[in-house]
């Protein structure tokens, strides 16, 4: 149905001409799903946007290639004709549904608008069709929710609305760019299933773009692996997963978190003991119980996994432990001292012993401080080094986290995401803390980088005898790292058990749901 040949797209930038897409071929067959896999910067999105005339030219330029879609070459069509096809026969679903919906317009009106103006449907007819579509994509009680504004939906429901909008004109091809990346795992599983159902029912072709092999493991028929603008491997799903040929594909497969940490001996005395912790916020005169009556222990030397979906309160909990967010009530005993009740002076010396690593390495480093300044700051603050000895220690830390020494005077924006996360880890470890909270520390990274950082964290945790609270939405990652797991849902602990028990004998339904939603279970 769609056949792309020899597509080459280049961008002219400050550093000269960059070939973002280099001689790429792929095709999509009606009723089947083709997945393009690659890490950020691999050209996977550019190649699809290029087909639809959605890359700005200049700086972009389509150098060569053809894209046959229903007997038309998309690359030869003029703007007007292309726009027609884009609206009618090819539809797109993007990563972040919030930015694609008009926040001031009711969802129903946004669905009805194209029906009325492009297809000339009457008001009642458009409404009936909109209701049908909403029901088809699994939105509950469409008769009521048709009058909702986008913000009244959850992320998953908004993505369903986006899919409904994409289906309005009965497209033949659906292009989904990272459609589930912004969603929780359980919701991700539902959306992927929805796409499969729609495909089976309407016999459309789906082109899915993703950075995550595990996500497409269950739905893709054909898989194309891209690296640095080139297709390095293509094949059907079974071949790619069972007999990958190219070393890069093997590396991607090896990076999918799997396996389980060997249980390590745990000392019986807790380093951190949380008792009946509550962290509540006042919001528009409503009390939001972000963390509600939570009690657990973190034992010396263990990695405790804290898993939960967005809104479960897991990040608030992690921040409360370090007193970054004031707790409402309860106790946090760190080595016997109550963190909440401490005076500012005592808190400062305690802060040396507990540190945090954040999710977004782009936001967690001061953009105007060099690596040197970032790493030297905690050392000087806690008087661990003098002005004359600090430089040597900074370089040692860089060695430890695997950053080349000549980067010492560079600013954060000059690094990749993985390198920045190494800086953040270095800063957290600089004071030689005993306890680390890692809040989604690898979630923002590409899979291969994620695997490297996880390995680094594991090594460092062992070397330094660290105790860690590892917060993540991703059970597969947690399984790889954690000795025990706490499951958090709506601010309350649903279940806590050691890793093996939790995976093999989950007690609660919610835990079971989470386990079932792990993408690419067949690979584990």
Partner 1 sequence: MSTVPVHTLADAEIGSSLWRDAWLRLRRNRLALAGFAVLALFILVAILTPWIAPYDYAQQNLDLGAAPPSADHWLGTDIFGRDLLTQIMYGGRISLAVGFIATAVALIIGVGWGAIAGYAGGRADAVMMRLVDILYALPFMIFIVLLMVVFGRNLLLLFLAIGAVEWLTMARIMRAQVQSLRQQEFVEAAVSLGLSPLVIIWRHVIPNALGPIIVYTTLTIPSVMLLEAFLSFLGLGVQPPETSWGLLISFGAETMEEYPWLLFFPGLVLALTLFALNFLGDGLRDALDVRGAKD
Which residues are at the interface with partner 1 (CB under 8 A)? 14, 319, 322, 324, 347-349, 351-352, 354-356, 358-360, 363-370, 372-373, 376-378, 381-382, 387, 391-392, 394-395, 405-406, 408-411, 413-414, 424, 427, 431
Minimal distance in Å, beta carbon 12 to partner 1?
A: 16
Instruction: Return the number of the residue (242 or 282) whose C-beta is nearest partner 1.
Output: 282
Minimal distance in Å, beta carbon 383 to partner 1?
A: 11
Instruction: Return the number of the residue (136 or 439) whose C-beta is nearest partner 1.
Output: 439
Euclidean distance between CA atoms 514 and 271, whole angstroms: 28
Minimal distance in Å, beta carbon 511 to partner 1?
A: 29
Q: Are 108 and 69 in contact (CB under 8 A)?
A: no
Q: Which ranges in 103-184 belong to alpha helices (H)?
A: 107-119, 123-136, 142-145, 155-167
Instruction: Return the number of the residue (303 or 436) whose C-beta is nearest partner 1.
Output: 436
Task: Indicate the SS3 state at residue 455.
Answer: helix
Instruction: Return the number of the residue (154 or 349) whose C-beta is nearest partner 1.
Output: 349
Minimal distance in Å, beta carbon 337 to partner 1?
A: 15
Minimal distance in Å, beta carbon 482 to partner 1?
A: 22
Minimal distance in Å, beta carbon 199 to partner 1?
A: 39
User: Which residue do the tokens 């909109």 mark?
Assistant: 130
Euclidean distance between CA atoms 357 and 367, whole angstroms: 16
Note if the bond before 58 is cis, omega within 30 degrees: yes
Euclidean distance between CA atoms 190 and 212, whole angstroms: 17
Instruction: Supply the angle between the helices 417-430 and 447-464 in degrees, to the nearest 10.
Output: 10
Minimal distance in Å, beta carbon 339 to partner 1?
A: 12
Minimal distance in Å, beta carbon 364 to partner 1?
A: 4
- Residue-by-residue DSSP string for 265-300: ---SSEEEEEEEEEEEEEETTEEEEEEEEEEEEEET
Instruction: Return the number of the residue (15 or 141) whose C-beta is nearest partner 1.
Output: 15
Minimal distance in Å, beta carbon 409 to partner 1?
A: 5
Instruction: Return the number of the residue (98 or 395) whose C-beta is nearest partner 1.
Output: 395
Q: CA of 349: how far to CAs of 37, 195, 354, in Å?
A: 47, 53, 10
Instruction: Return the number of the residue (14 or 80) whose C-beta is nearest partner 1.
Output: 14
Euclidean distance between CA atoms 271 and 333, whole angstroms: 8
Minimal distance in Å, beta carbon 353 to partner 1?
A: 10
DSSP state of 211: S
Instruction: Return the number of the residue (154 or 366) whose C-beta is nearest partner 1.
Output: 366
Euclidean distance between CA atoms 461 and 335, whole angstroms: 18
Euclidean distance between CA atoms 259 and 275, whole angstroms: 32
Q: 288, 355, 280: which is closest to 325 by C-alpha?
A: 280
Q: Are 268 and 274 in contact (CB under 8 A)?
A: no
Instruction: Return the number of the residue (79 or 282) whose C-beta is nearest partner 1.
Output: 282
Q: 304, 332, 335, 307: which is closest to 437 by C-alpha?
A: 304
CB atoms under 10 Å from CB of 23, counted, come to 15
User: Which residue do the tokens 């579509």 mark?
Assistant: 133
For 65, phi then psi, to 5°, come to 120, 170
Instruction: Return the number of the residue (361 or 520) whose C-beta is nearest partner 1.
Output: 361
């Amino acid at each position: 149905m769609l056949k792309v040949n020899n597509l080459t797209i280049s961008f002219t930038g400050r550093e000269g001409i960059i070939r973002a897409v280099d001689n790429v071929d792929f095709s999509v067959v009606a009723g089947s799903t083709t997945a393009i896999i690659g890490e950020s910067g691999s050209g996977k999105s550019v190649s699809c946007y290029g087909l639809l005339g959605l890359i700005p030219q200049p700086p972009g330029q389509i150098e060569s290639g053809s894209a046959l879609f229903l007997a038309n070459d998309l690359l030869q069509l003029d703007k007007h004709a292309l726009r027609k096809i884009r609206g009618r026969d090819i539809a797109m679903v993007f990563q972040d549904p919030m930015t694609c919906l008009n926040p001031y317009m009711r969802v129903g009106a946004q669905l009805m608008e194209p029906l009325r103006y492009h297809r000339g449907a009457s008001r009642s007819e458009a409404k009936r069709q909109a209701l049908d579509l909403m029901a088809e994509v699994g939105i509950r009680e469409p008769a009521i929710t048709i009058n909702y504004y986008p913000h009244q939906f959850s992320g998953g429901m908004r993505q369903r609305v986006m899919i409904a909008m994409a289906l309005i004109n009965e497209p033949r091809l659906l292009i989904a760019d990272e459609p589930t990346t912004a969603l929780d795992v359980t919701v991700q599983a539902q959306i992927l299933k929805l796409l499969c159902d729609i495909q089976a029912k309407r016999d459309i072709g789906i082109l899915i773009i993703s950075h995550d092999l595990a996500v497409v493991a269950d739905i893709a028929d054909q898989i194309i692996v891209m690296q640095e603008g080139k297709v390095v491997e293509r094949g059907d799903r079974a071949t790619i997963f069972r007999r990958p040929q190219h070393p890069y594909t093997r590396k991607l497969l090896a990076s999918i978190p799997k396996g389980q940490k060997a249980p390590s001996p745990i000392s019986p005395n807790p380093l951190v003991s949380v008792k009946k912790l509550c962290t509540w916020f006042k919001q528009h005169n409503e009390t939001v119980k972000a963390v509600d009556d939570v009690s657990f222990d973190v034992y010396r030397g263990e990695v405790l996994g804290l898993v939960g979906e967005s809104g479960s309160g897991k990040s608030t909990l992690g921040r409360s432990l370090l007193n970054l967010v004031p707790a409402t009530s309860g106790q946090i005993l760190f080595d016997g001292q109550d963190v909440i009740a401490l005076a500012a002076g005592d808190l400062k010396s305690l802060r040396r012993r507990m540190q945090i690593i954040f999710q977004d390495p782009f936001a967690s480093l001061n953009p105007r401080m060099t690596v040197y300044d970032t790493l030297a700051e905690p050392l000087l603050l806690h008087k661990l080094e003098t002005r004359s000895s600090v430089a040597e220690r900074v370089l040692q830390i860089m060695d430890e986290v695997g950053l080349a020494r000549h980067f010492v005077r560079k600013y954060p924006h000059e690094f990749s995401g993985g390198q920045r996360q190494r800086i953040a880890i270095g800063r957290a470890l600089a004071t030689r803390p005993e306890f680390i909270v890692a809040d989604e520390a690898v979630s923002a990274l590409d899979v291969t980088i994620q695997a490297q950082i996880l390995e680094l964290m594991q090594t460092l945790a062992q070397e330094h005898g660290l105790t860690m609270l590892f917060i993540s939405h991703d059970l597969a990652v947690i399984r790889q790292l954690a000795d025990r797991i706490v499951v958090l849902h709506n601010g309350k602990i649903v279940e806590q058990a050691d890793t093996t028990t939790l995976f093999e004998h989950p007690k609660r339904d919610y835990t079971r749901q989470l386990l079932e939603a792990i993408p690419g279970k067949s690979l584990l």
